[in-house]
Amino acid sequence: MHHEMGNDDAPTTQFLLRLARLLLGGGLSARETEAEVIATGRALGYPETQVGAFSTGVFVSLSPDMPPQFSAAKSYIRFDQLSDFLTITAELRAGTLDFDTARARLTTAAERKPAWPYFVANLGSIPVGVGLILLLCPAWPNIIVGLIASLVIAGLSTLAGRIKAVAEILPVLAAFTVSYPILLAADTGWLDYPFRTIVAVLAILFPGSVVVTGIADVVAGHSSAGTARLSSALMQFLLFFAGIWLAVVAAHWSLRDLLDIAAPAAPFGIKLLGIFLATLGLMLFCYCPFTHAISIIALSTAAGAIQVYLGTEFSPALGGLVAAILSSVGAQLLAHAPKGPPWHVTYLPAFMIVAPGSFAFLTASQLSGYSASPLVTALSALVGVAIGTLLGGAVKELEFSKTLARGVRRRRA
């Protein structure tokens, strides 16, 4: 028989419910959201806090005997807001923040207006597109075309933010609008590596991080949330492919010719510059808090560089594995520094850099002309990132356990 929720319990339940849906909207996986909210609930004096997170919503109860409350996930949370949410949960667990202040700060952060307009954030697609061209096919014609095409992507993304019908067909529309002129330019002989250029420009819209998060959720036992994420990402990729295929047909190309992509030689320093530019673009696109800019740039550039190097010299799976572990563990180390950023604030941008599909269909191995088939190569890199993500998550779980143990000792004392 369920116990009725007392008046003292209702504010806590609503606080945890709101926190959970905001964290889900900020890009945390179901497992990570549950861990954060359960740890926060325990810190507030509810050791039996129950949380069930899905891809689109979350259930929260303060104990198994209380009826759960449900809330749909917030659709989009900026990184600057996520930074505040995670800072609040960390301070609650550390015992340095009282509940009433936490509630007020959560409301303020959730309602804060963005630091720059939406169309300015979409201009982040330009350094991302140019940066990835430096990574995939560094040549002046490609850079010029990438700059123009990325500006078109910024315009389409801004339009999609205002018109729902455009948002629903954005993958097909963006893929065709970018691919067709690039293929025509390649026909004239002015542009080499058309597919790499197309991928570099479209990459900021790819749901690659959703794929890896979905895999991590499935492996962690969150099959419902993980399967939903994977299905959504697969449909998005199919829509992008449909747009590219329509452009291929319209330009009288064949997919075989498009995918015949020998890797261009490029100094590692140029690739590193590309990763750096892509990171800056991501920070603008995701509203990363610039108070933590140095940490974000350092970790994302290091993770991207190690993935490219190991993927080029050894194997894509090793590059993805090491880069994913570096992203997670490095973010946790930075979080322990004095006034360090919450770990997700540095982890998520680095994660988006290394997750295959976020910034390349091609993966690091194809940068060096790796002889394996593109599908096997992409899957091996994907598995490497997924395993690295899980190992990094295990380290984070240990950190939660230590924090909770300290909280228990404080209460007993």
Give the DSSP letter string of 306-348: HHHHHHHHT-HHHHHHHHHHHHHHHHHHHHTSTTPPPHHHHHH
Residue 296: pLDDT over 60: yes
Q: Which of 151, 377, 149, 134 is nearest to 259 (CA)?
A: 377
pLDDT over threshold 60, residue 199: yes
**What 3-state DSSP class applies to 381?**
helix
**Looking at residues 395-399, what average pLDDT do you find?**
61
pLDDT category, 261, cuts 50, 70, 90? low
Q: If you ran DSSP here, which 8-state letter would residue 60 be given? A: E
pLDDT digits (tens, 9 = 90+) for 31-88: 888 888 999 999 998 999 999 888 888 999 998 888 888 988 877 888 899 889 988 9
Q: What pLDDT score was predicted for residue 137?
A: 82
Q: Where are the domains of the chain?
A: 8-113, 122-399
pLDDT over 90 at 177, yes or no = yes
Coil, strand or helix at 295: helix
Name the range with the highest mean pLDDT among 14-18, 300-304, 355-359.
14-18
For residue range 333-383, what is the model confidence (pLDDT) as tens digits? 888 887 788 877 888 788 777 764 444 444 433 444 444 455 555 555 566
Q: Which has more confidence, 87 or 214?
A: 87
Please tell me the least confidently modeled range out of 73-77, 241-245, 389-393, 406-410.
406-410
Q: pLDDT band for 413, please (50, 70, 90 cuts).
A: very low
How many beta carbons lie within 10 A of that of residue 220, not counting itself? 20
d(CA 361, CA 348): 19
CA nearest 105: which of 82, 133, 123, 85? 85
What per-residue confidence (pLDDT) applies to 411?
40
Is 70 exceeded by the pLDDT of residue 412?
A: no
DSSP 122: H
Average pLDDT of the chain to the nearest whole number: 81
**By percentage, how much of the chain surpasses pLDDT 70?**
80
Strand partners, 72: 57
H or E stretch including 149? helix 140-162
Query: With bands split at pLDDT 50, 70 and 90, how would you rate the model's confidence at 157?
Result: very high
| Stronger pLDDT, 320 or 308, i.e. the higher one | 308
Instruction: Give the Cα separation of 323 and 302 in Å (integer).
Output: 8
DSSP string across 226-263: HHHHHHHHHHHHHHHHHHHHHHHHHTT--HHHHH--PP
In whole angstroms, give the CA distance from residue 51 to residue 216: 18
Candidates 72, 47, 75; CA nearest to 61 is: 47
Which of these, 335, 324, 342, 340, lies nearest to 393 by C-alpha position? 324
pLDDT number for residue 409: 42
Provide the pLDDT for residue 239: 92
Which is higher by pLDDT, 269 or 158? 158
256 Cβ contact list (under 8 Å, min separation 6): none
- CA triple 410-412-413, angle to 5 deg: 65
Q: Mind giving me the DSSP string for 173-214? A: HHHHHHHHHHHHHHHTTS-S-HHHHHHHHHGGG--HHHHHHH
Residue bearing tokens 């992409």: 378
Question: Is this prediction's pTM over 0.85?
Answer: no
